[in-house]
Structure 1
Amino acid sequence: MNRKILNISRIVVVFALVAIIASCDDYLNIIPDNTPTIDHAFKNRHEAEKYLYGCFSFLPNHADPTSNPALFGGDEVWYIDPANIVSPLLWNIAKGNQGTNSPLADYWASIQDDSNLQGGKALFTALSDCNIFLENIDKPFDLDKSERDWWVSEVLFLKAYYHYYLFRMYGPIPLIRENLPISSTTEEVRRFREPVDDVVEYIVELLDQSLENLPEEILDVTSDMGRPTKATALALKAQVLTLAASPLFNGNTDYASVVDKKGRQLFPQEYRPEKWQRAAAALKEAIDAAHEAGHELFDFSETTFARDLNAPTILAMQVRGAVTERWNKEIIWGESNFNPDALQRVCFPAWNPNHNSGGIGKSYAPTLQVVEQFYTSNGVPIEEDRDWEGVDPIGIRTGDASHKFYIKEGYQTVNLHFNREARFYGSVTFDGGTFYGNGRISTDDNMWHTPMRGADPGGGVAPTERYSSTGYLCKKLVHYLSSVPEANSSITTYRYAFPIIRLADLYLMYAEALNEVKSSPDEEVYEYVDLVRARTGLKGVVESWQDHSNVPDKPASKEGMREIIRRERLNELAFEGSRFWDLRRWKLSEEYMNRPIRGLNIRGENPADFYQVREIYRPTFGKKDYLWPIRLRVLLKNTNLVQNLGW
């Protein structure tokens, strides 16, 4: 399948099918009374394949900050307004500006509202199209059975994923098992939201069905990368069941009042530990399938340029490469139909005034709380590290030879930037820090060093629409082969497949599920966390905590290990969109998103002024914000729907 075709927005929902479906209602899946049109869409293999591409075209753009709320909508990065390169529209979610008249990142409303979905997509229309495909794919006379079976499995996977995406955002949703006939009454068209457990079971059922004819691996890497495999489907199933087992949906009494007009409780009110057992089993199956398909943790030391690099640089590049190295073995499912060009531009620093002329965005700014969140070089949190007791994180310190691969020698920065874990150095651009890439890749003896103060070009406040609001930039999402000439800002970005699911995600999720299942953590729980830690040079959690933490027995308890695993996920998967959803499913967003957004004094010209911590914004997050509001117009049309809590 030509990957370029997947970029063509809804080209297959051609022959007026979309208009016919959408005219019935906002999301309601009704079979169009236009049989000749459908017959034409499935008259042969070529036309049917175009319809298949249309089903794929509804996939959310995970690498696009203007449509993926997880990139701009939380406390991980902070933006500027006004800004260019990328619209800050979904940043308004983080600022508490969500609403019911025109919800931000609206994935519920119909394709009729496509121009006003505020960064979303009409996923109920997508589900209707998937049903039309499944109902008619037996019609092409020249489509052989093996290819038909493969396409059916792919569309079953897409149906599951679109339901999952809606479920993660809205909770209980209508299940679009099949399209209703055009003769359906008004009342039949007004579908109900289904209880959480029913939604989960249906998504799992679809994924189990898709497994029958999905390939073990993608063989045509030129054309078909990004299409689902068995490992992809099993990984998604594991994610669904983990979400269902998590505090947001497993016995969450906050939603006790959400009852539909049939009198059904839409959210389960009783905590069921067996949900974690089921999630753990699914995660182990997904991990085993991924291993069998050749997936493994990415290792930058095996790449072409690593042979001439020093160990600190390689360790920092491990997590950065796991995200940006195109179709590396760790990626179980990646974004194939959207180029993360704009995302790289807003992460790219500037090294001289020539770089400020327009091509570089330098405004995707990690918050200070995320900078502080990464571990020390001892593999434990700063606030627990015995070596850091009495150390002022914002105390001025000068770069020396022992830190030269991470900090410019002789440059004045702060203690916070010294003796941190390699994931920090691979993820965050800071004042005086090194930057591997931008044309300097054969050696790490002459890496770039990024100034971020005041009028300095790296992240300074000029130009006014492109600067870091916190004094930091996100390094992790910039491929090391992306570059900009020294004489201008004409940036050339290296395209990569933004990871939707990668193996480290499954390892940490499996450890989380096992920890919830067992009465206390054991070697099996530690194993999968330690595998991820070892890649960047960290020792195992038990050894690290015993040797360096002021809470040495923390890994021995379920509660302590739960906290460790969660922080591991926040560090390992930082800036990939995971934090936004994890904090929600853990019911921790109220804690994190009510803390002040902090950064440095970006206008400070010297270290003493620049390294003054300042409060940038004070967000608010209430119980209603865990789930999306349903658009008011949709509720007025379908009176069988009930709104989410607080909206």
Structure 2
Amino acid sequence: MKYIVISGVKNRIFMYLLCISCFSTISCGDFLDVVPDNTPTVDHAFKTRYQAERFLYGCFSFLPNFADAGSNPAMLGGDETWYIDPVDGMNPRLWYIARGAQGTNSPLANYWASEQNQTAYSLNGGKALFTALSDCNIFLENIHKPYDLYDEERTRWIAEVKFLKAYYHFWLFRMYGPIPLIKENLPLSAKGEEAQRYREPINEVAEYIVSLLDEAVEDLPLLIEDQTNELGRPTKPIALAIKAQVLTLVASPLFNGNPDYSAIVDDRNIALFPQAYSNEKWQKAADALKVAIDVAHEAGHKLYDFSFTNPANAALLNEKTILAMQVRGAATEQWNEEIIWGSSESNTLALQRACHPVFFVAQNGGGLNRTFAPTLQVVEQFYTKNGVPIEEDKAWIGVDPMEIKTATAADKYYIRENHPTIQLHFDRESRFYGSIMFDGGTLYGNSRITSDNNMWVTDLLAGKVGGGGNPVQRYPSTGYICKKWLHFRSAVPDNNASFSAHRYAFPIIRLADLYLMYAEALNETLSSPTDEVYYYIDLVRARTGLTNVVESWRDHAIDANKPSTKDGMQEIIRRERLNELAFEGARFWDLKRWKLAETYMNRPVRGLNVRGETPEEFYRVTEIYPLTYSKKDYLWPLKQSTLLTNRKLVQNLGWN
């Protein structure tokens, strides 16, 4: 018997005793066909509505734990944040992807097939999603059997499982590229070679995922009416958003005419990656994104507004504090209207512990880890207050970002007055101040939420209470802490390590993500940007106080005409995604699909000298780790033992 934590279903059912032993399977890692060993057992599982519902939630249980850095490779597998070694608090296993420890003997984040336990996370941070797909098929084949299940509910459940089936294929597709399509389970009699499946070409995989989502959309609700019990379950906007993500991925450089994969051909002589670039794929992605946006609007989704959501708090705050809360709140405000899909069962407690600074000595001995540390390259990446990159801002020509400067009263909402810090921390966009904690930077929250005249200030120099190396396993390795994931209502008492976390649903996809994807896809279809391209990116910028793209570059950038060209706008949109969606997992997958990971992740991880006790010592740029990234790292390796068992499979580029 195994306990299954149900991810993505709020409150009603957190755990189910699921008798997995009743559904013995052929090893998913071996043959990718998961079938029950006897039909009567399956019949019993679908005898009544109650029993069928248990099986339904078993299908949900395979959803990844999105907020867990030890299970979601996008959290720590790239160059966005860095840990310490040894680390205390969060599981560091997938951090070793970034450190070059991926391999074929025991792949990290092995979602193709976990090791011993097919339903729980393996030691290397993956679930066996081919087992999940087989369970989805079992459900779809048998859901007609419960005698006491009303047709309306049956129809919705079928749509939900089709959505899950599509999403599990998508998760694998994004990781591995070509994958076997588990359209139906193999018969019980299938043995040996007949039980083995081929990886299917990129285009076929995408078409199948899209077809499942199209079927699911028809019978999913527009929105969740029973919000107490069902938030997180699939809706039309969720399914359409995932469809748009799939089509955007297929249109992107990694999968759209990528010559690097020309030699990946199976023994049927079928090329698994298309070699001809297709601009039509971008048009399909743009069309799907526009539909997803329109339906999301119909369901009531809109960009998060802190003043609207928290009017009593906002009435007492300065505009600068409110603007800094815009993107932070969009990610952490429980079920706010911007979140299209959130994971209510993903554990944000551990994530918040890793983002909470220490203000008293007593807190050093507790669970406040402050180890989720943004890298210096990401700190530099955010715009200036003028809405353009530092390296493109005319006002920053000749300015040394590492020069020490003392804050004045005009800076007090973001930096403690009279505090010495570097120029890099001054005059930045509000998303920077809502996402990054730095030495001398302010923190709105931790019980001080009725005013911003006495906000907490982070002291990160060595020798200070919250500074580097104290204790060795709980400090930010880069000299920065991620502020974005810390809900402003989460708090720890003075001189106490008892952390009271305000929980929230981890945002899997939110409306701003769709807006920026649509601007990207639309721009790719055109010879030069149109007003519609600018419109959707400007909506996202305006929410955090930035002027529109054209005006910002015209007034402040070295190259005032950059937004007028397709290539220039492509670069701007990509930078906008990196800033808006920082630390949400988007960067990891975006850099891969853009084929830019080799550029970004072949540079050393940089941070500040966390052992420095004076500003002059602390603000010395330090190379922390020499990142390396090659073409093989764009896709996951198949485990060697899987290839030996199933000769129909071919390994991904560079992993032989």
Indicate the TM-score class for this superposition, using the shorter chain for normalisation: over 0.9
Aligned with 2:201 (options 174, 187, 195): 195
Aligned with 1:126 (options 120, 123, 132): 132
Per-residue deviation at 1:585? 0.2
| Counterpart-to-counterpart distance in 1, 2:456 and 2:31 | 51
AA of the residue aligned to 2:270: R
Per-residue deviation at 1:113? 5.0
Equivalent residue runs for 1:149-228 within 5 Å: 149-228=155-234
Secondary structure of 2:315 counterpart = helix
| Counterpart-to-counterpart distance in 2, 1:254 and 1:23 | 32
Decide whether the 8 Å contact of 2:604 with 2:626 is kept in 1.
yes
| Counterpart-to-counterpart distance in 2, 1:131 and 1:148 | 15
Per-residue deviation at 1:442? 0.7
AA of the residue aligned to 2:590: D
Q: TM-score, normalised by structure 1?
A: 0.98
Q: TM-score, normalised by structure 2?
A: 0.97
In structure 2, the CA distance between the partners of 1:24 and 1:488, relative to structure 1 (3 Å rule), is: closer
Aligned with 1:102 (options 100, 106, 119): 106
In structure 2, the CA distance between the partners of 1:632 and 1:525, relative to structure 1 (3 Å rule), is: same
- Once the two structures are superposed, residues 198-236 of structure 1 have per-residue CA deviations (whole angstroms, 9 ceiling, x without a partner) of 000000000000011100000111110000100000000
| Counterpart-to-counterpart distance in 2, 1:596 and 1:462 | 24
The residue number in structure 1 matching 2:362 is 354
> What value does the CA root-mean-square deviation take over the aligned residues?
1.3
| Counterpart-to-counterpart distance in 1, 2:261 and 2:124 | 27
| Counterpart-to-counterpart distance in 1, 2:553 and 2:26 | 57
AA of the residue aligned to 1:605: E
Secondary structure of 1:278 counterpart = helix
Aligned with 2:343 (options 320, 327, 335): 335
| Counterpart-to-counterpart distance in 1, 2:84 and 2:25 | 40
In structure 2, the CA distance between the partners of 1:111 and 1:53, relative to structure 1 (3 Å rule), is: farther
The residue number in structure 1 matching 2:604 is 596
AA of the residue aligned to 1:253: P
In structure 2, the CA distance between the partners of 1:460 and 1:30, relative to structure 1 (3 Å rule), is: closer
| Counterpart-to-counterpart distance in 1, 2:22 and 2:168 | 19
Equivalent residue runs for 1:48-59 within 5 Å: 48-59=52-63
Decide whether the 8 Å contact of 1:15 with 1:41 is kept in 2.
no
| Counterpart-to-counterpart distance in 1, 2:219 and 2:463 | 58
Equivalent residue runs for 1:11-22 within 5 Å: 11-12=17-18, 14=19, 16-18=21-23, 20-22=24-26
- Once the two structures are superposed, residues 389-448 of structure 1 have per-residue CA deviations (whole angstroms, 9 ceiling, x without a partner) of 111101111111111100000110011000000000000000000000000001111100
| Counterpart-to-counterpart distance in 1, 2:509 and 2:122 | 29
| Counterpart-to-counterpart distance in 2, 1:352 and 1:292 | 48
How many pairs does the alignment contain? 644
| Counterpart-to-counterpart distance in 1, 2:27 and 2:260 | 36
| Counterpart-to-counterpart distance in 2, 1:32 and 1:375 | 55
Per-residue deviation at 1:187? 1.5
Decide whether the 8 Å contact of 2:34 with 2:131 is kept in 1.
no
The residue number in structure 2 matching 1:517 is 525
Equivalent residue runs for 1:125-524 within 5 Å: 125-302=131-308, 303=310, 304-524=312-532
Per-residue deviation at 1:106? 0.3
- Once the two structures are superposed, residues 347-396 of structure 1 have per-residue CA deviations (whole angstroms, 9 ceiling, x without a partner) of 11111212111210011100000000000000000001000111110111
Per-residue deviation at 1:8? 3.1
The residue number in structure 2 matching 1:88 is 92
AA of the residue aligned to 2:177: G
Per-residue deviation at 1:25? 5.8
Secondary structure of 2:606 counterpart = strand
AA of the residue aligned to 2:567: E
Q: Which runs of 5+ in 2 are unaligned?
A: 1-5
| Counterpart-to-counterpart distance in 2, 1:555 and 1:113 | 51
- Once the two structures are superposed, residues 54-87 of structure 1 have per-residue CA deviations (whole angstroms, 9 ceiling, x without a partner) of 0000000100001000001000001001011112
| Counterpart-to-counterpart distance in 2, 1:167 and 1:15 | 26
In structure 2, the CA distance between the partners of 1:616 and 1:24, relative to structure 1 (3 Å rule), is: closer
Decide whether the 8 Å contact of 1:330 with 1:502 is kept in 2.
yes
| Counterpart-to-counterpart distance in 1, 2:111 and 2:630 | 21
Give aligned-pair identity as a percent.
Answer: 64
Q: Which runs of 5+ in 1 are unaligned?
A: none
26-35 vs 563-572, which moves further? 26-35
Per-residue deviation at 1:459? 3.7
Per-residue deviation at 1:306? 1.1
The residue number in structure 2 matching 1:620 is 628
Is it true that 1:575 corresponds to 2:580 in the alignment? no
| Counterpart-to-counterpart distance in 2, 1:463 and 1:322 | 32
AA of the residue aligned to 1:275: K
The residue number in structure 2 matching 1:629 is 637
| Counterpart-to-counterpart distance in 1, 2:465 and 2:342 | 33
Per-residue deviation at 1:31? 3.1
| Counterpart-to-counterpart distance in 1, 2:103 and 2:217 | 39
| Counterpart-to-counterpart distance in 2, 1:215 and 1:639 | 42
| Counterpart-to-counterpart distance in 2, 1:462 and 1:206 | 51
